[in-house]
Structure 1
Amino acid sequence: MIFERVNAMAIRKGCTPSQLALAWVHHQGRDVCPIPGTTKIENFNKNVGALAVKLTQDEMAELESYASAENIQGERHFQMNSTWRNSETPPLSSWKYE
């Protein structure tokens, strides 16, 4: 069910579902950076295409609604749905670059 919704939005946006997912992560804030793993240059190039996918606030909210608690099935998935909200990542402003 969730994939069908994501796939439909990806079609509307003219991208792949993977690019849409990476774009969603990219739009989470300046202190978040998706790091997809791949061993093939073709997949890497497709992943880079996610940077061209622009999401509106309404589209972000729509994507987030797909992963709401009532749409997630199974205990493991329910628990993992909000783990990122409780992370203790320090703010980007506190990072020191050498």
Structure 2
Amino acid sequence: MNHLIPRFQPENLEHNKCVFERVQKIATEKGCSPSQLALAWVHHQGDDVCPIPGTTKIVNFNQNVGALSVSLTPDEIKELEGIAAGDAVKGDRYADMKTTWLWADTPPVSSWKAT
């Protein structure tokens, strides 16, 4: 499926890999994972912002909670904001959304039952 996602196309992949490597470097310096760093960055946006990551596995939940232990300096926040600027990542996040139904696993409406 990645071959259909514009961000993973050859013309975008090398650039986006460099963006990830910058985030990975900061995460390594902070002693956390890139996902924990991302959650910590969201958490540091203010008292009126709360990241709500989804997960179905306890190990991932525990890792997400670990993001609360990651503190960021104003300089680190500024650096991450620069990395996450609107045009930093090349390529759309999803391919043509008109075809997502092709991979859907939704039962037909005729099988739905009202409760």
TM-score normalised over the length of structure 1: 0.72
**How far has the Cα of 1:74 moved from its partner?**
3.3
What does 1:76-95 align with in structure 2 at a 5 Å threshold?
none
2:67 equivalent in structure 1: 50
Identity across aligned pairs (percent)?
A: 66
Which of these residues, 13, 19, 24, is aligned with residue 36 of structure 2? 19
Instruction: Give a deviation string over 1:52-71, Cα, whole Å, max 9, x none.
Output: 00000000000011122452
Q: Report the Cα distance in structure 1 between the residues aligned to 2:23 and 2:34, rounded to whole angstroms.
A: 6
Unaligned runs of 5+ in 2: 1-17, 95-115
1:63 corresponds, among 80, 83, 96, to 80
Q: CA deviation at 1:73?
A: 1.9
Query: Across the two proteins, how many residue pairs are aligned to each other?
Result: 77
Pair 16,70 (structure 1): closer, same or farther in 2 beyond 3 Å: same
What is the CA deviation profile of residues 16-73 of structure 1, one whole-angstrom value per residue up to 9, with x for unaligned ones?
0000000000000000000000011111001000000000000000001112245232
- Give unmatched runs, 5+ long, in structure 1: 78-98
TM-score, structure 2 normalization: 0.62
1:33 alignment partner in structure 2 = 50
With over 3 angstroms needed to count, the CA separation of the structure-2 counterparts of 1:36 and 1:69, relative to structure 1, is closer
Judged with a 3 Å threshold, the aligned counterparts in structure 2 of structure 1 residues 51 and 73 are, in CA distance, closer, same or farther, namely: same
CA distance in 1, matches of 2:89, 2:39: 20
Change beyond 3 A, Cα 1:76–1:42: closer
SS in 2 for 1:71: coil
